[in-house]
Amino acid sequence: MKFLKSILRMLLMFFTFMNVSAAKEVEPFQYALALQKLQDQIVLGNLEAHQAQLKMLRLMSKSFKQARIVDWQERKNAEALLIFLLSGGNPNIAIELLAIKNQPNLPKGVLAGALAFVSGEPKAALKFLEPIVLEGLSTNVAAQIALARASLYAGRDDGSGRAMEQLALVRLLKPGTLLEEAALRRSVAIAGANRDKKAFIRMSRLYSRRFNKSYYRKDFISNFSYYISILDFGFDSKFIEDLEEIMNRLSEENRAAIYITVTRAAMLDGKVQLATILGRKAIIILQKQPLFVAKSNLYLGGTLIVSGKEKEGSDLIDKVDRQLLDVQDQELLDAIILILAEIRKPLITTHSVGEKAMSKITNGKLGESNGMQNSKTVDRAIDLIKGASKILENKTYGPN
């Protein structure tokens, strides 16, 4: 009921602005404009607007089913149908209208292409949408079609360049809207997948400046974290400055998610320097969150052990509260403790292994997690940490 009231309130405000009287029937294009007003609120972080959007689409579906055939002959109403469809609206309405003689007043192939796109038929969608001349459409619909074409191009081996061109067009046509936000998010992912480090940083910077409160920022954070962890940026001062500029625009919670995700991935991928830098930053900003503290101590501790700083790493591992970790991280903790013990075996009776870590081994707690021996995470951790023995084999053990 709360969401429905939100929709009705926004509709009332919008229709008052549009000078629509109560006696006049609301046309499809007016619903589409109201929908876009809701979507603009979503990129500002309005959770209620995101949830109300679903209610709005249902309301539009009911209204569009009752619309007359003649209504769809007006171009702005026909374009409203496209916006509705590409925003997640009920595709059955488009299917029914494509089957009649007097189809909606749209350029040939546009509606069929949009329907194929939302139905998961990329070949058919591209066949219809690729030749469409966007200049013949309104700004709203042109941006929607360009966004769809970008997704279709991105799915092809040779299509990333054309996808980025389409996304740039979307950003130009609809700045500050959900369409621009979506275009930037996808640009970040495409640049990362193409190993285009400059474009990746540039698009990430733009996103963090313009849409750091968006409801969909979690998708950006996921892509940003993933590609930061796999791309080889090197460690010049410019990269660190760029990274910090982007991160500082995000909330503490979002920064924490990125630091934790990237530190773990970098550790398991053997990127010791990256994992160490971000792991240390994570510990600084996460002091009041026990779960994140446990994770950052685990990941940084494991990284330090790999890099030969076994005393500092062991101290961090000792601080990890096992009960706060999920099963995978419990397995990772077990592997680190076991390999740490193996690395320091010559002096295992001394303080060369943290006392708490050793007690976990001697008390039979190691390997409590089900299926530990089959875990790919553990296998990878063992391989990496075993590699530390090459660094340490000529080292005199003891506090460092």
Q: Can you give the residue ranges of every domain in the chain? A: 251-400
Which CATH topology does 251-400 take?
1.25.40
Instruction: Give the helix ranges, DSSP H, for the chain.
Output: 2-17, 28-42, 47-66, 75-86, 92-98, 110-118, 122-129, 139-154, 160-173, 178-193, 197-210, 217-230, 237-248, 252-268, 272-285, 290-306, 310-319, 327-343, 355-362, 376-392
| Better-predicted residue by pLDDT, 267 or 190 | 190
In this prediction, residues 85-111 reach a mean pLDDT of 92
Does residue 185 carry a pLDDT above 90? yes
Average pLDDT on 132-136 reads 88
pLDDT value of position 6: 52
pLDDT digits 0-9 by tens, 331-347: 889 888 887 777 766 54
pLDDT of 35 > 90? The answer is yes
Range scoring the smallest mean pLDDT among 11-15, 22-26, 128-132, 367-371: 367-371
Average pLDDT, integer, range 185-193: 95
DSSP code at position 70: G
Any idea which residue has 């046509």 for tokens? 173
pLDDT tens for each residue of 382-395:
555 544 434 334 33
Which pLDDT score, from 0 to 100, does residue 345 have? 65
Q: Would you place residue 370 in the very low, low, confident or very high pLDDT band (cuts 50, 70, 90)? A: very low
Query: In this model, does residue 230 exceed pLDDT 70?
Result: yes
Whole-number pLDDT of residue 22: 40
- pLDDT band at residue 146 under the 50/70/90 scheme: very high
Report the pLDDT averaged over residues 87-109.
91
Task: Judge whether 334 and 357 are in contact, CB under 8 Å.
Answer: no
Average pLDDT, the chain: 81
Cα three-residue angle 117-213-219, rounded to 5 degrees: 40
Residues 139-149: what's their mean pLDDT? Answer: 95
The residue ranking higher by pLDDT, 372 or 342, is 342
Rounded Cα–Cα distance for residues 61 and 80 (Å): 12
Work out the average pLDDT over 175-203. 94
